[in-house]
Structure 1
């Protein structure tokens, strides 16, 4: 995050009306349309190659079908532009791969002839084109936010400096004192609690009439960090959450289908894990613990036991190099194999594949007393993996729990299929690398 002043800054072209997210979407839309020209050129060349006898008509037909996957990839990326630009590589790979996998399944389901060479050519062309456009117009673009008072700047700095948080996206912050300086910013950052006076009101009205986009400090923080500011939760939080009704219904269907699909692999792997636990230490392989779920209702969560058996142990944070963890436990915790039994919790509706991680009942009672807005994380089903887990990993202190809540509430506010898929990809990275394990 860089700070600068508007004095002596050279005049730049007037920026388009709308938010920075809208501008990024406009750039990517233009890039997508421009890419169709190259797709059309490839189809023409393929048709010429067919007439020359180098390829069959199936090659050309596959390229034409691939246009649907190409456009769908840009649509998926468009729906995820509200996410921090630092997630760009994961978003691009995900948005490109899913439509082409769906197209491959469609070919198989309807017994349509297709060319593997043409499909691979279209896939890698789309991947490179989207990646280059995203890097140029979204990820490498550093937004400029202006501010009129130092209070807004201090609030943002406090939000960016939360303990245990992932690095924020790059931005430049500029103190402004006139309309001429404001119109060259991507937005004006405002302190929503600032005292309203006639002079300030007139100035803001002038900015608004000149198409200067105005954001609260909290909204700027969300765009840069993927976290919700806990100092103030406004009515928009509940409006955004209420808009996700159909998404929650469809997500439940996806959870059930995913668990049934994973069962043939999870059952034998779970049996191997259970056997190794019983061989190393006495006691049951399964660990049952009361956790708090949807709407604050308790449920019994299942896990493979990764510590020595002690039924009387109190609830506490997992520490780094925790001496209670067994040798087998360290391996299964590192690669999240201890959470295989929670697929049963997902099937029963206690949990979801993606959502805020469920906490132990005694800890929830303490956090609800000491952390404002903590109960709001229970507006969604808890998950095997979540936005906080892939961004922050395990937490070990009260301060890190506050940061974790800011990630959880961001997910509650912005939950969507695009965000779930991004979390799933980053979870796979965790399973392969053991990131964040304790």
Structure 2
């Protein structure tokens, strides 16, 4: 009996990790193919200016504003979905619905006719919101597919699968766009990404973990009380508060590095577009190795010292990056950055589950989404301000090291003892 249960648990863990492999395909429309289709087809050169509320928006600003709108909408939408999923024991249904909506919306991006700018913005926001929502529930499932002693390993397999998929996807989608240049190649790459997400997520959709019991009171008022109570309770949990601060600061630094990589690499070293692509590819390969490095390290020295080591590594990357002169140095930085990012994500996710009970898992992962999303906005803004006022890209990169120093300092305030989660919600439906 025990052997059968162990096999079922391992099968479900493999299906869980495979969703990281599946959903990684969204990087193709969000970072590569759709931005090009957006500028070349939906908003072609010579199109009439975009006027919003009497303001004429320059063409170059439309896509960044679209990305910002998608980030805001997806972050705001995940809060009521998380409360609904946790309180009503609807995580599985919501996950499947968001996964399917995301796949359909992603595929629809490839079918938009020329000039359909408004529809392009709406469909991209829908696809991004479904992707973020499904991934929040996916993170919450970690507590249901793996006991505490196995979470580092299972989380590592998920992150490694995601990075490995990134390498394969970049190769396949890039090959498609080279073999079929122009608009048709971009559309095929987006359709391929939607199909990849749909097919490889099926094992998890068919073998989702059992739900914790629902709450007796599932009203909007009760959900609001839980949300505000959780936020207030966070201030009575100094370790959890410090941990979220570390996630916020660290995400600011890491996301700033990756979003500013291409222009900085070209300005600092004269790297060509192909060389920048190689830097990104190397970081993806190393990202698949990083989770296994940090999992082994955490088993020896503990999760918090391991996370501190990853942020210290990133601080060193920022210091080295601010002085880089040759393209070959970028390749070395890419390998270190991939190991640091992949390794950090694996341990950070699994350790975070120690702060709460599985009945509130989706809500707590929503709080971490807020931290990382806020970091995605604040980090580049600080970098941009320093570059604007100093005129130096190198000082901008150097300033990023400060974010990692804050992350290390915050983790020093996380107790070495296992965190004590808040009380189990007292309105669980025993029936």
Smaller-chain TM-score bracket: under 0.3
Structure 2 length normalisation: TM-score?
A: 0.22
Determine which structure has the larger strand proportion and give its number. 1
Structure possessing the higher radius of gyration over alpha carbons:
1
Structure 1 length normalisation: TM-score?
A: 0.21
Higher relative contact order (CA 8 A, sep 6+): 2
Determine which structure has the larger helix proportion and give its number. 2
